[in-house]
Structure formats: structure tokens, C-alpha cells
């Protein structure tokens, strides 16, 4: 079936109570999951430079949880886990050209993993995620539900990329091409990190966090009409801003906030190029 027909069916089935779901509805969900695995449909897509959520895809992913039943997975009775049968581990073969280093990593079915992706243990990719070609997911890194990761991204050790599966109308977290996400960074609440940006180790980006650009003398915030966006090529470091009034000011307290201190230049590119030897 074509994508438009699939979208209409998902929208219709999503409105049904769980007691009315049948094996035929499961077949429709399986078709959605097949297309998610192949990268043919995505939870969000960029059109004319703007990221738009595909609400029907997120509804379909949620439908999979309602259709699923708990079953055991694992190689032996001593090494089992229990999850919905609709979301087993993703099947990969040598033809997929994905490097999964042994040591406890998990990639859930219903996500796209591009060619040349490297997965260092332990790491986790959740359902609905899209991880494009040549990206490295380092140890203890998370790619959340529906998160969109571009080409040649490096998610360093301990990086946490949130998802945003619900509410279905919200754009998920997006990390565009050639972004470096440093160790123990976090990107959450539908924030968008534009291409070639660099997040220094320990930087936390959330939808509600203002980001101060001391190069361009601007402050970036989420608005009712648009998510928070980190500009292309920005180099972001952890920072703090002083509380100006009230008890916080009296106690001389500060609030953590990301700060853009520069934009990528030749020196930055030289330092980042060293990452290629790990791929």
C-alpha cells in the first residue's frame, strides 16, 4: 500500500478501543514498522528548512504498544527480558553495514539505522528513531523514541538524546548532520541542534532552557510556535547566569544555562576530525 493509505489506516485504527483491535490491525502496524525499519517513513521530516512532525507515524508507534502482549525474549532462561511482542530487538544482518560492538547494546525494532553507523556498548536506540549514515553512538548513549539523528553525528559517551513520542503533535528531538554531542550531554524536549554544531561535554539543552549567544548577542528560546534551535555551527558550552532579584539574588545563586561562545572554524574542525579514526 502507498504511504497515504497507510497513514489513513493508522489514523482510523488509533481511534479504536483496545478491545476492538484484531490481527488485521496488527498487519497494518507491521507494515508501518517495516517502513520505519527501512527509513521509508519517519516521525519527523525537514521541509523547506523546517522540521515537521508526522503525527500519524507517532500514533502508529503508540498503537504498537496497545497491540502488543508481554512475552519473554532472550537466548536462555537465565538471560531473559520481557517486553511487548510488537517491539523485539531490531534484526540486523552483515548487509546492513552497521557495526555493533559486543557488550550489551540494544536496538529496538521499528527504528532506522543507516549504513556505517557504529554502536559502542552499552547503548540503546528506541523505537521510531532515525539514525543516519556514518553516525557513532558511543558507550552509555541513548537515542530516544522518534529522535532524528543526522549523518556523521558523534554521540559521545553518556550522551542522552531524548525523544518526544508524546504528545504526538510535538516535533521530537533533532540532531542534524555532522554535529558533535560531547560526553554526558543531554538534548531533550524537542530541541533542534542544527548541522555542524558542537555541544561541549556536560551541556544540557532542554525546550525550556534559554541559550545565550555571546557571539551574535542573541538569546534563543522555545516559543509557542517553534522549538528551541541551536544555530548551525554553534559551539555551545555549559554556563551559568546570575539570579538578578529575589531570594536567589540575596544568596548570590546562579542558574545553569548553555552559552554559545564561538562558531566552528578550522581549529574546531581539526580537533573533531580526530573522531574519524574511531569509526
Q: Is residue 167 part of a domain?
A: yes
Residue among 276, 181, 184 at smallest CA distance from 236: 181
Burial of 136: CB neighbours in 10 Å, binned 0-12, 13-18, 19+: buried
* Domains in the chain, number: 2
CA-to-CA dists, residue 4 to 8, 21, 40, 84, 254, angstroms: 6, 21, 12, 27, 50
Return the pLDDT at 270: 63
pTM summary value: 0.92
What's the distance, Cα to Cα, between the start and end of the chain in Å?
A: 37
Domain containing 37 equals: 3-70
Instruction: Give the list of residues 6+ apart from residue 83 with CB closer than 8 angstroms, or none.
Output: 68, 70, 71, 73
Q: Is residue 157 part of a domain?
A: yes
Q: Is residue 75 part of a domain?
A: no
One domain, residues 207 and 262? yes
One domain, residues 171 and 55? no
Return the pLDDT at 104: 86
One domain, residues 144 and 264? yes
Q: Is residue 76 part of a domain?
A: no
Q: Which residues pair with 234 in a beta bridge?
A: 263
Q: Is residue 127 part of a domain?
A: yes
pLDDT per position in the chain (279 positions), as tens? 899 999 999 999 999 999 999 999 999 999 999 999 999 999 999 999 999 999 999 999 999 999 999 998 876 667 678 899 999 999 999 999 999 999 889 999 999 999 999 999 999 999 999 999 999 999 999 999 999 999 999 999 999 999 899 889 999 999 999 999 999 999 999 999 999 999 999 999 998 889 999 999 999 999 998 999 999 999 999 999 999 899 988 898 999 999 999 999 877 666 666 555 555
Return the pLDDT at 275: 55
Return the pLDDT at 6: 97
Within its chain, how far is the Cα of 114 from the centroid? 14
The CATH number of the domain holding residue 40 is 1.10.166.10
Amino acid at each position: 500500500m502507498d504511504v497515504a493509505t497507510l497513514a489513513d489506516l493508522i489514523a482510523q485504527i488509533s481511534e479504536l478501543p483496545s478491545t476492538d483491535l484484531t490481527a488485521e490491525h496488527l498487519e497494518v502496524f507491521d507494515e508501518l514498522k517495516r517502513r520505519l525499519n527501512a527509513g521509508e517513513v519517519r516521525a519527523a521530516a525537514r521541509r523547506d528548512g523546517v522540521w515537521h512532525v508526522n503525527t500519524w507515524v507517532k500514533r502508529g508507534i503508540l498503537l504498537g504498544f496497545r497491540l502488543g502482549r508481554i512475552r519473554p525474549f532472550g537466548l536462555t532462561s537465565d538471560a531473559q527480558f520481557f517486553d511487548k511482542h510488537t517491539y523485539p530487538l531490531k534484526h540486523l544482518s552483515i548487509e546492513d553495514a552497521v557495526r555493533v560492538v559486543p557488550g550489551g547494546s540494544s536496538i529496538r525494532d521499528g527504528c532506522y539505522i543507516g549504513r556505517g553507523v557504529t554502536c559502542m556498548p552499552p547503548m540503546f536506540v528506541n523505537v521510531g528513531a532515525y539514525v543516519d549514515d556514518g553516525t557513532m553512538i558511543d558507550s552509555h548513549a541513548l537515542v530516544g523514541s522518534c529522535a532524528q539523528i543526522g549523518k556523521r553525528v558523534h554521540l559521545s559517551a553518556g550522551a542522552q538524546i531524548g525523544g518526544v513520542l508524546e504528545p504526538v503533535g510535538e516535533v521530537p528531538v533533532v540532531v542534524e548532520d555532522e554535529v558533535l554531542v560531547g560526553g554526558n550531554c543531554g538534548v531533550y524536549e524537542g530541541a533542534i541542534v542544527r548541522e555542524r554544531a558542537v555541544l561541549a561535554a556536560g551541556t544540557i539543552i532542554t525546550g525550556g532552557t534559554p541559550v545565550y549567544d555571546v557571539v551574535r548577542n542573541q538569546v534563543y528560546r522555545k516559543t509557542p510556535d517553534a522549538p528551541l534551535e541551536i544555530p548551525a555551527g554553534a559551539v555551545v558550552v555549559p554556563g551559568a547566569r546570575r539570579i538578578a532579584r529575589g531570594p536567589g539574588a540575596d544568596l548570590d545563586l546562579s542558574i545553569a544555562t548553555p552559552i554559545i561562545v564561538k562558531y566552528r572554524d578550522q581549529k574546531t574542525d581539526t580537533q573533531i576530525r580526530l573522531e574519524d579514526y574511531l569509526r
